[in-house]
Chains A and B, each alone.
Chain A
Amino acid sequence: MGMDGKALLEVRGLRREFGGVVAVDGVDLVAYEGETISVIGPNGAGKTTLFNLISGLDQPDAGEICLDGRPITGLPPEVLAARGLARTFQHGRVFGNLSVLDNVLIGAHTRQSAYRLRAPVVGMAAELLLALIQLPAWRAEQRRLREEALEVLALFGDRLLPRADQPAYSLSYANRRRTEIARALALRPRILLLDEPTAGMNPTETAELLEFIRALKQQGLTILLIEHKLSLVMQLSDRVIVMDDGRKIAEGRPEDVRDDPQVIEAYLGHGRRDPEVTDWKVQSEDRKLH
């Protein structure tokens, strides 16, 4: 694993501004096949914006993104999903009134034969007819996807499977997060973006999810992870990228990054390096203003 593999995702000089505030400022990132990379940093560092840019939900002002060597900058999320990019969301976005099973089946949306009917008008008419007539082949496909979805749910032990037919809004917070991950896995992703998957989970649930992600990693899935529980990051990541104020301030092996004074400062704050100098600055500014 690591550098000797093939570069799956390449991000170069990515930049995104929101009304004068630079949320992501010239970020470079390479993910090799099979790697798990964590993106960490304090609130407002630009981590989620970075995920939104990579997954196509937001368009960069500058920079380039390549998936599997092909440029994907500016492509909409619905196209990226079909190319094998799946993600979860920071606060969890399950489809509340859909059953858990249906949520996971939406994850397999791009794998249905209907998805391949791309022609503008004819394709739509064909999809409508397909849904109406429900040929045996279509039924078989739906049955297969359903069984697969149940298998994905089974990965979470008895957390989700017994609740497969319940609406997602009735789930506990942790189970909603699990449903989201199950939905992403049903896409059969080549790369999985997890945005704070353990937020709101208690220690037991967090430990359980850690093992779950570790298993995914061992199956060779490429994972990009935003996470603020650093011990989890330390245990899972091959590489860690630290962001602060939209910039990448450090990158490296987890244990190196952890002891990097720059990283500690980013988290704990910069403090005042030299009180005397700054006092003078304050005074001089006062004089200017009067």
Chain B
Amino acid sequence: MLSLEGVETFYGPLQVHFGVSLRVEPGEIVCLLGGNASGKSTTMKVILGLVKPRAGRVVFDGRPISGLPTPEIIRRGIGSVPESRRIFPDMTVRENLLMGAYTRRDRDEVRRDYERMLELFPRLRQRLNQRGGVLSGGEQQMLAMARALMGRPKLLCMDEPTMGLSPLFVDRVLELIRRVNQQGVTVFMVEQNANLALQIAHRGYVLQNGHIVLEGAAGELLGSPEVRDAYLGGGDGR
């Protein structure tokens, strides 16, 4: 469904990615793991077209999308849950949700999806007319997920979905990711928290200093010493 092929990116003189390749198959939950400054979040930006790769390409649904403007990539069926949620702070929860369906014209279907989201995320129903900015971190994360799903994406991209959440909400968000996936949405998530992400993911990749150093089934990676080394032992600079 999604593949990165030999992606290289730079921020000014600083190279972030050194030939990163990865694949996400339909129906999967794939997580991209990595410690500080490994280039995880930039990978997400590359997929969403917010950062243009200098070499390599991104293919979605059989067609290359690298180089397309972000709105066009969204329109092709990628939903984004950005890092630190990025809820529109001065819009109500309802408006935030409907902004997620911005690219859609099928009003009746949008209305139905809207109701479905409120069933899936019951907590949002009580907050419909509150400003997004006053929600707690966990509520914002749910709103961000619901907002992305309102676009009926084929692929849901989540950047650090558990960051800064209390343990209770972390579990709930993971449960929701699993449930959404069971309803047929492919999920690609970037996570620092390897132990959590690998519990719900099918497969995982480990990124270290801009290189994919490890990939495998979630069960193999969970608790493996290599993952631990990738996080803790990055001193050789790779």
Q: A residues bordering B, Cβ < 8 Å?
A: 21, 42-44, 171-173, 176, 196, 198-207, 228-235, 258, 264-265, 267-272, 278, 281-282, 285-286, 289-290
With A269-B192, A272-B196 in contact, is A282–B175 under 8 Å at CB?
A: yes
Minimum Cβ distance to chain A for residue B197 (Å): 7
Let me know if B235 and A229 touch, CB within 8 A: yes
Residues of A contacting B: mostly = helix
Residues on B with C-beta less than 8 A from A42 are 35-36, 192
Residues of B contacting A: mostly = helix
Let me know if B168 and A200 touch, CB within 8 A: no
- B213-237: CB near A (< 8 Å → 1, else 0) gives 0000000000000011001111111
Let me know if A228 and B234 touch, CB within 8 A: yes
Minimum Cβ distance to chain A for residue B151 (Å): 25
Minimum Cβ distance to chain A for residue B228 (Å): 7
With A282-B171, A290-B122 in contact, is A269–B164 under 8 Å at CB?
A: no
Let me know if A278 and B171 touch, CB within 8 A: yes
Let me know if B172 and A282 touch, CB within 8 A: yes
Docked CA distance A72–B231 (Å): 36
20 residue pairs from A and B, CB less than 8 Å apart: A43-B36, A44-B164, A172-B13, A173-B14, A206-B235, A228-B35, A229-B235, A230-B235, A231-B234, A232-B235, A233-B235, A235-B235, A268-B227, A269-B195, A269-B197, A270-B193, A270-B196, A271-B195, A278-B171, A282-B175
Let me know if B228 and A268 touch, CB within 8 A: yes
Name the interface size band of chain B.
35 or more
Let me know if A269 and B235 touch, CB within 8 A: no
Docked CA distance A171–B12 (Å): 11
Minimum Cβ distance to chain B for residue A83 (Å): 30
- Additional A-B contacts beyond A204-B237, A231-B235, A233-B235 (11; CB < 8 A): A42-B35, A44-B164, A173-B14, A196-B37, A198-B237, A201-B237, A203-B238, A264-B228, A271-B193, A281-B171, A285-B172
Let me know if A268 and B237 touch, CB within 8 A: no
B129 within 8 A of A: no
Let me know if B37 and A228 touch, CB within 8 A: yes
Let me know if A206 and B237 touch, CB within 8 A: yes
Minimum Cβ distance to chain A for residue B162 (Å): 8
Task: Determine the residue in chain B with the shortest Cβ distance to A228.
Answer: B36
Residues on A with C-beta less than 8 A from B231 are 267-268
Let me know if A272 and B35 touch, CB within 8 A: no
Q: B residues bordering A, Cβ < 8 Å?
A: 12-15, 35-37, 122-123, 126, 162-164, 167-168, 170-172, 174-175, 191-197, 199, 227-228, 231-238
Q: Which of A203, A258, A270, A285 is close to B167, meaning CB atoms less than 8 Å apart?
A: A270
Which of A173, A268, A278 is most buried by chain B, counting CB atoms within 10 A of its CB?
A: A268
Docked CA distance A270–B191 (Å): 12
Let me know if A271 and B36 touch, CB within 8 A: no
Residues on B with C-beta less than 8 A from A173 are 12-14
Residues on B with C-beta less than 8 A from A171 are 13
Minimum Cβ distance to chain B for residue A141 (Å): 35
Docked CA distance A94–B170 (Å): 39
- Ranked 5 nearest A-B pairs via Cβ: A231-B235, A269-B193, A271-B195, A203-B237, A228-B36
Minimum Cβ distance to chain A for residue B225 (Å): 11
Task: Determine the residue in chain A with the shortest Cβ distance to B175.
Answer: A282
Let me know if A234 and B235 touch, CB within 8 A: yes
Which of B14, B37, B126, B191 is most buried by chain A, counting CB atoms within 10 A of its CB?
A: B14
Let me know if A202 and B122 touch, CB within 8 A: no
Docked CA distance A198–B14 (Å): 12
Minimum Cβ distance to chain B for residue A205 (Å): 8
Task: Determine the residue in chain A with the shortest Cβ distance to B237.
Answer: A203
Q: Which of A202, A232, A269, A289 is close to B196, meaning CB atoms less than 8 Å apart?
A: A269
Which of B12, B14, B35, B235 is most buried by chain A, counting CB atoms within 10 A of its CB?
A: B235
Which of B123, B233, B237 is most buried by chain A, counting CB atoms within 10 A of its CB?
A: B237
Let me know if B175 and A202 touch, CB within 8 A: no
Docked CA distance A286–B168 (Å): 12
Minimum Cβ distance to chain A for residue B213 (Å): 13
Task: Determine the residue in chain A with the shortest Cβ distance to B40.
Answer: A43
Docked CA distance A199–B236 (Å): 12
